[in-house]
Chains A and B, each alone.
Chain A
């Protein structure tokens, strides 16, 4: 790096550090935005310094990305879209579930580029085929609720694994309740 570039970088880093400190102090404020200092630094480093012609990445993505986190490559749970659970032989949404889905809808609206696959699952107490049908009902109930909250249906794919791909092994209430779920997955 030449001196000019280095100076610009140092100034920018200083600005960033100051910003980091400022936002860190307002932790009591509910409306503060949590910044990830590393992400901002990455952004700054890739900003094109004056007078230098940038090399365009082969895929044409602009270097000045506001948000380098690739949500499309993450599992939905990693960015705050959580699974919901169901009663035995049921596919209706209880209050807790509706609360979780309301949060999920907010997250999804913040990231309009993201598509999720809603998988319906069942516990083992039933037959393979009927449980595939029940799993689909669970996944569709979740999809329909998210759509009613304003999430575009084109971003919500639905499938069912029935009882055939359980999360918890075991023939007890604990395992069973963990398997009666709608799971959000990366398609």
Chain B
């Protein structure tokens, strides 16, 4: 329901906005108060493609006379560990912290509710579905920065090769087009590797929450789920076995990298950038990196995007999604100033700069701008990807289960899933053992 509401609101706003194209420059927010003498400290996510935004902080400093120190930069898992450790030990010395819809349930006791710091007009520009999801027990936990939803990335040269098309049709009995099912995705990965034209048919990040999330979206697509309504693990189902078997077969048949279980986001993106992968599911934030001829000459202008495939259930597409965000810590000594920084970092101007890199915006005004830019672009994919993202956000948005110990559950689960993928245990035994250990874990955690 929330997703349909979001689609309706987005489409309505877009229709109105495109019809009355905006002429004024994108606006900064949070720069109207003087913060001379104030130093704000921020712990946030680093790495490609997140750090480009932080260059804009000097604009905030110039306009407000504040000083901003970034006290920690790390990937999603490093920043999560850093935040959890400091929150729990009471050693928080930063004002603004990274947050994420997948991780926020852990931090609720340590972040300042933002409801009273934003007017309804200020919040209205953000995705209502994300704002609603970010409100726990009536407290707004975060302000979203950009959205992520995985889409299928595939090599145009391979799919457009006439010889390969004929061979594929002869062997598998259907056309070589971007896969619409997980079974087709497996067939194509197998075919491309056998053809000798590509190193890996597909890939996925094989550790940490990165692996859990991929498994989750495919589990949903196959008609399963991690937990029931009472948080009892139920992924030892036919859908779970099908999903685990799919991953195990990919590894066993060498269709994915041999070091898959060591890969995280930067490594899988680099593999695709190097031209080593035929098709896989990836976040939209890498778009400008992949289109950069100097960084990714093998694939710039040579890849397409498609909706995630459906699984055995038949109608549910994969679409692992979430939103990166910022929060203000309860320990902050200057919450008003910290909120100003958050307003700045999520303002139209900063969000627009980020959206131009490929990250999906969460503000309706920025959507308007990037769609107008895409309409004027000579690259068709610039427009197609936004149209695709709108459909996916509206219909395929699969956020991970929101409970406090999602990460703890994941840390217990992913090594066992790795054991299944690597063939250390069979799918049946691995899933049975995993669900038993998760039941014990959930009991220990008080569920």
Same complex for A and B? Answer: no
Residues of B within 8 A of A (CB): none
